[in-house]
Structure 1
Amino acid sequence: MAVYVYAITAASHPLRLDGVTGVGEPPEKLRTVNSRSLAAVVSDAPDGLRAKRRDVLAHEAVLERLMAEGSVLPLRFGAVTSDDQAVLQVLDERAASYQERLTALDGCVEFHLKASCDEDALLREILLQSPEAHQLNEQIRSGRAGPDLQIALGERVAGEVQLRHESFAAGAVEALRPLARDIRASDPKGGDFVSVSFLVDKARQEGFTAAEQDLANERGADFDFRLHGPLPPYSFVEAT
């Protein structure tokens, strides 16, 4: 039977799982796979598992219970392997790496920040502040410009947007970096200019969320900041 893996902990973790059940309908019973220094919390993997609300919440409930009593390496929803022996083999082969990450993540949660800015407001700013873009725009508006100038303006604006996005992202990260133990950046999607995860000590999470709110207020209504968390530290399970 395939095995669903929720998390990895130290063998000394209390692993009190009473009252918590796993994914599946009916819910699968939780158990542990133990090596000399580590433990993995697992269950049988139900057939045809999909990210239904009940199963996602069951996965999160297991992680929350474990995190309340010690350091955890959380696996994302849907981690399945062949059997308990495969789990044990990975625990043995990667013992040193997993123990290092458990120490690094002890007492921490993850916050993920995404942010975007209003495109029309940014365009107006560029046309006001960039002499080259302003001049090209005025020539086009006069009706005497050909398609080459329109292409040139588009390229100039695209370059200015990129520069401003990079500046906005750097400013956001630097404002919050002092309150984080570690940072993991990913490529922003859609209209976002930043997508970054912060590893934050639980004792500092209120200060972190307050700093993010200050940053959002400082940027103003043209910016949309979305902070998700506290979360299990999924982005920090692997060492860089």
Structure 2
Amino acid sequence: MAVYVYAITAATHPLRLDDLTGVGDPPAQLRTVQGGILSAVVSDAPEGLRAKRRDVGAHQAVQERLMADGTVLPLRFGLLAPDDDAVRAVLEENAERYTERLAALDGCAEYHLKAAQDEDALLRQILQESPEARRLNDDIRAGHNNPDLPLALGELVANEVQARQEALAAAVVEALRPLARDERASQTAGNDFLNVSFLVDRRREDRFTATEKNLAAELGEDFDWRLRGPLPPYSFV
């Protein structure tokens, strides 16, 4: 029977799982598979598994419990293996690499930061600070019939938006980088100009979150900041 794999830990991890259950309906019982110096937390895999709220919650609960007791390599939702023997073989074959990752993540949590800027506020800022944008906008509002004016203004504004947001994202990351052990940038979506995960030593969490709050306060109410954490370090496995 296929098995669902939640996480990898050192074999010395406490693995306190007695009061937790896994994915599926009814919920699967959790167990561990040991391969040399490593262990994996697994359960029987239900058929037709989908990312339903209950199953995602069960997956996260296992990760959070393991993380509370020690270092863990948290695996993404939905990872399956053919059987326990296949899991054991992977642990043994990749023992050196997994052990190195556990050492790199030791004592750390992930913080995920997304940020967006109000579009109207950004446009006002560009019109105030760019003489060329202001001139084009004034000509359009004055009723000039040149059909190239809206296109020229649109291209100028688009370039300004990209340049300003790239510079701002770089400045935010630069300010937080000294407080993190590692970082991973991801593709932005929607109005976001920033989508980045930081690997933060638990002893520096307070400084990290305080610095993020100070940045948000400094930039003002035109920005939407979304910081999630502490999380299992999915982005750094």
Q: Verify same fold: TM over 0.5.
A: yes
- Cα distance in 2 for residues equivalent to 1:147 and 1:97: 61
Structure 2 counterpart SS, 1:175: helix
The answer to whether structure 1 residue 107 and structure 2 residue 107 are counterparts is yes
Aligned to 1:135: 135
Does the 8 Å contact 1:13/1:70 carry over to 2?
yes
Q: How does 1:51-200 map to 2 (within 5 A)?
A: 51-200=51-200
Structure 2 counterpart SS, 1:203: helix
Aligned to 1:9: 9
In the TM superposition, what is the alpha-carbon distance from 1:165 to its structure 2 partner?
Answer: 0.6
In the TM superposition, what is the alpha-carbon distance from 1:21 to its structure 2 partner?
Answer: 1.5
Q: Which stretches of structure 1, 4 residues or more, deviate above 6 A after TM superposition?
A: none
Aligned to 1:24: 24
Aligned to 1:43: 43
Unaligned 5+ residue runs, structure 1? none
Does the 8 Å contact 2:36/2:91 carry over to 1?
no
In the TM superposition, what is the alpha-carbon distance from 1:234 to its structure 2 partner?
Answer: 0.2
The letter of the residue matching 1:90 is V
In the TM superposition, what is the alpha-carbon distance from 1:14 to its structure 2 partner?
Answer: 2.0
In the TM superposition, what is the alpha-carbon distance from 1:153 to its structure 2 partner?
Answer: 0.9
Aligned to 1:225: 225
Q: TM-score, normalization: structure 1?
A: 0.95
- Cα distance in 1 for residues equivalent to 2:15 and 2:59: 15
Q: TM-score, normalization: structure 2?
A: 0.96
In the TM superposition, what is the alpha-carbon distance from 1:144 to its structure 2 partner?
Answer: 1.6
Task: Give me the identity figure in percent.
Answer: 68
Q: Calculate the aligned-residue CA RMSD, in Å.
A: 1.2
* Aligned residue-pair number: 237
Unaligned 5+ residue runs, structure 2? none
Q: CA offsets, 1:141-184, max 9 Å, x none?
A: 22124221211111000000001110110111112111111100
In the TM superposition, what is the alpha-carbon distance from 1:20 to its structure 2 partner?
Answer: 1.6
Structure 1 counterpart SS, 2:55: helix
The letter of the residue matching 1:153 is L
Describe the shift of the 1:138–1:47 C-alpha distance in structure 2 as closer, same or farther (beyond 3 A).
Answer: same
In the TM superposition, what is the alpha-carbon distance from 1:104 to its structure 2 partner?
Answer: 0.5
In the TM superposition, what is the alpha-carbon distance from 1:77 to its structure 2 partner?
Answer: 1.5
Does the 8 Å contact 1:139/1:145 carry over to 2?
no
In the TM superposition, what is the alpha-carbon distance from 1:191 to its structure 2 partner?
Answer: 0.4
